[in-house]
Chain A
Amino acid sequence: MDGNDVALTGVSMRFGDFTAVHPTDLTIGAGEFFSILGPSGCGKTTILRMISGFLDPSSGDIAIGGRSMAGIGPNRRPTALIFQNLALFPLMTVWENVAFGLEARGVALADRKRRADELLALVALDGQGGKKPTELSGGQRQRVAVARALAVEPAVLLLDEPLSALDLKLRQHMRAELKDIQRRTGVTFIYITHDQGEALTMSDRIAVMNAGRVEQVGTGDEIYDTPASPFVATFVGEQNMFQGRVASVSGGTAVVDTALGPLHGVARGGLAAGDQALVFVRPERVGLVEADDGEAVNRVDAEVERRDLEGSFVNLFLRAGDQRISLHLTNAGAGRDVVSGRRRVGFRPADAVVMGVGEVARE
């Protein structure tokens, strides 16, 4: 679909002395499912409110479909916002809720009714139009909110943590449903969440934010495998983190001297010998190895402390001095991963990322 792309150029937001959003450039393609992921208070809602028109950026410009939105109020933007608490109108029936945007546009009653029925069918709520929102379940209310927003045929649908109030099962179900609706309507979705699982499963691309800055924009795989900063590395997914000093960098591989000996990994960003550095490796990329496997790179001997059975996964927690190391092993059955005592673990240099020190996400 044309005209559904969103472009932010140098957009920032200040509240008095406090900068909620530092100057940000973002381009979101037409029909894309774009997520903004970040911890609480990082400025996600602020960005969304700027796009929807409820906040005027302190600087920069927002364009939708190539048209600058400066000076255009929220009621005249081609966007529709789904609020964190949905904000359905409790005194109206479900179909009146859905048709409210059409009512505001002066659409005749009969047409409104027909369109509301179509939209309710789209979100699998046929025949529920006569109820009050309070008579629906959480998931159904969620779908009413989606239908109400889609009724005005927005170019861009903005969703502010719309699933956070639902329980886990329903959340997973609604993820699939939202994704499906997005695919069928071709509307650009900008989806805010602090749930990385949600972002990774649904999004075409993800922007990871921290403290008012976008730290990385990329596909889920890019974010997960090649994080751009220690914050992204630690905020998305789990990590083993080792601290040390860079011994050498060559051909994209850095060697870091740590308390556990030299560790090899893929160098990210400009690193030079002597720099303080962090080595990250995902728990599922670390494995148990035999002490005599003949390989010397990225091998650590550690004491097994605990084993947690997760189901298809088994989490192993080990300790080497002050360093904790965790492993996610696929459950091979028959308790084959029940280990104790001193074991050697190892990982491939290609699975480790080396970065300069920086802020990391709190657990």
Chain B
Amino acid sequence: MLLTAAWVLGLIVVPQLRMIERAFIVDQRGDEAALVATEIERAYARVFAIDQDLLRAADGAAAPTAPSPFAPSPSSRATGAASPERTAALEAEKAEAQARIVELEAREAEIQAADRTTYALGNFTGMSRIHAWIFVSTLFYALCVTVLSFLACYPVAYAVATARRGERVALLMLGLVIPYAINELLRIFSWVMILEKQGILNGALDALGLIDMAAGEGVRFVASNGAVFVVMVYAYILFMVFPIYNTIETLDRNQIEAARDLGASAWRIHWRVVLPHAKPGIAVGAVMTFMLSAGSIAAPEIVGRGLHPDWFSQVIYRRFFESSNWNQGSAYALVLLVACVVFVLVVMKLFRVGIRDIAK
């Protein structure tokens, strides 16, 4: 009990609160701070490289050896016997870099000391038009993935749930579960292999004589949103199949037969009997798929390779790790989270599914 509380607090509540706090912190000098931080990092890297060169120079003096193939490019100049002038030059450069570090760190401390942290909505209102557009598109894409996933999973779930023989159920379950024993990244990469220009799918088309790969023909499946959708549907198929399967399983098969006996077409049986019964399961699957795909970073990053329309998760990633603007990243992440929750609630309302139905 205590452990659970500690776990929830430590791993969920505190980081989330910190992130929410950051989202509202507007750091006017954020850009300069980021710049200085980058510079400091670069200076340290330079000092490290010089140290390496110096070491090698000392080694070379003791026992001349062939240049290491792993030597970084600046050290290539140090090939052969170490000349004293060279060592001196390096020492000077190092001293200069170290001086720069001291200077930069002082500046950084200064920036931090000058507490310019204010709470405001700047991180939200400052969202650029492009980012806003990507945000809206992402919600739309995630919706597409959810719908596609439902269309793909409902028949599977129905077939598995109504399969007569225990064996068939076991087989189908294995077919779905075993791919999930494989790491998510591997699964995504295997899709890249399939969809690549030189990939398996184009190979199959080639073998069928539809395209000529040797002549450079081939459909560029990857780097399109279609490919991202396909990979995501596949990645989250279980989250959709299992809840639907679970609800359909509880449907009395006599009801399906009764509907059929009363003259209903297959379409009407699904529309009037199976789908209404499976609604809570569909809602659970849709919520999970929507949330997961709206926040997914791996699939758009790997499959899309930056050549397809951006997903908002990628924008957040870059705010954090490329622009080093954690505050804005936090703000974006928060916006995404809130939007997803609101979106899900609205959709649930539209389809008249209560939280209580889902809990069943």
Contact = CB atoms under 8 A, between A and B. Distances in A.
B40 to A, nearest CB: 65
B264 A89 contact: no
A79 B261 contact: yes
B257 A75 contact: no
A9 B88 CA distance: 111
A interface, size bucket: 20 to 34
B262 A80 contact: yes
Contact of B263 (A83, A89, A152): A152
Contacts of B263: 75-76, 101, 104-105, 152
Contact of B264 (A75, A81, A92): A75
A87 B262 contact: no
Interface string B252-266: 101101111111110
Given A75-B264, A75-B265, A89 B257 contact: no
Contacts of A129: none
Contact of A85 (B254, B264, B272, B277): B254
B24 to A, nearest CB: 45
A81 B258 contact: yes
Contact of A83 (B254, B268, B273): B254
A100 B261 contact: no
Interface in A68-108: 73-76, 79-81, 83-85, 87-89, 91-92, 100-101, 103-105
Interface in B226-284: 252, 254-255, 257-265, 268, 272-273, 276-277
Given A89-B272, A91-B276, A74 B259 contact: no
A52 B254 CA distance: 13
A100 B264 CA distance: 8
B264 A74 contact: no
Interface in B279-296: none
Contact of B260 (A75, A92, A149): A75
Nearest to B266: A75
B257 A104 contact: no
A44 interface: no
A342 to B, nearest CB: 57
A80 B264 contact: no
Contacts of B261: 52-54, 74-75, 79-81
B256 to A, nearest CB: 9
Contact of B252 (A87, A92, A100, A151): A87
A143 interface: no
Contacts of A74: 257, 260-261
A112 interface: no
A355 B164 CA distance: 44
Nearest to B255: A87
A87 B253 CA distance: 9
A162 B64 CA distance: 100
B258 A83 contact: yes
Nearest to A73: B260
Nearest to A96: B272
B254 A87 contact: yes
A85 B255 CA distance: 10
Contacts of A53: 261
Contacts of A100: 259, 262, 264, 272
A232 to B, nearest CB: 31
A151 B272 CA distance: 18
B273 A89 contact: yes
A83 B255 CA distance: 9
A83 B257 contact: yes
A160 to B, nearest CB: 10
B251 to A, nearest CB: 10
A245 interface: no
A202 B57 CA distance: 111
Nearest to B277: A91
Nearest to A77: B261
Contact of B262 (A73, A84, A148): A148
A92 B277 CA distance: 11
B307 to A, nearest CB: 47
Nearest to A99: B262
Contacts of A151: 262
B252 A104 contact: no
A87 B264 CA distance: 15
Residue among B255, B262, B272 with most chain A CB within 10 A: B262
A272 B86 CA distance: 130
A101 B265 CA distance: 11
Nearest to B254: A87
B262 A101 contact: yes
A104 B264 contact: yes
A105 B264 CA distance: 8
A102 to B, nearest CB: 9
B270 to A, nearest CB: 13
A173 to B, nearest CB: 24
A81 B254 CA distance: 10
A49 to B, nearest CB: 9
A91 B276 CA distance: 7
Nearest to A160: B254
A104 B268 contact: yes
A54 B262 contact: no
A152 B258 contact: no
Contacts of B252: 85, 87
A81 B256 CA distance: 12
Contact of A54 (B257, B264, B268, B276): B257
A211 B355 CA distance: 50
A91 B247 CA distance: 14
B176 to A, nearest CB: 28
Contacts of B262: 75, 80, 100-101, 104, 148-149, 151-152
A85 B276 CA distance: 20
19 contacts: A53-B261, A54-B261, A74-B257, A75-B262, A75-B263, A75-B264, A75-B265, A79-B261, A80-B261, A83-B258, A84-B254, A85-B252, A88-B258, A89-B272, A89-B273, A92-B272, A100-B264, A104-B262, A152-B263
Interface of A: 52-54, 73-76, 79-81, 83-85, 87-89, 91-92, 100-101, 103-105, 148-149, 151-152
Interface of B: 252, 254-255, 257-265, 268, 272-273, 276-277
Given A81-B257, A87-B254, 18 more contacts: A54-B257, A54-B261, A75-B260, A75-B264, A76-B263, A83-B257, A84-B254, A87-B255, A88-B258, A89-B258, A89-B259, A91-B277, A100-B259, A100-B262, A101-B264, A103-B272, A104-B265, A152-B262
Question: Which 6 A-B residue pairs are closest in the complex by CB-CB distance?
Answer: A87-B254, A101-B262, A104-B264, A87-B258, A104-B263, A75-B263
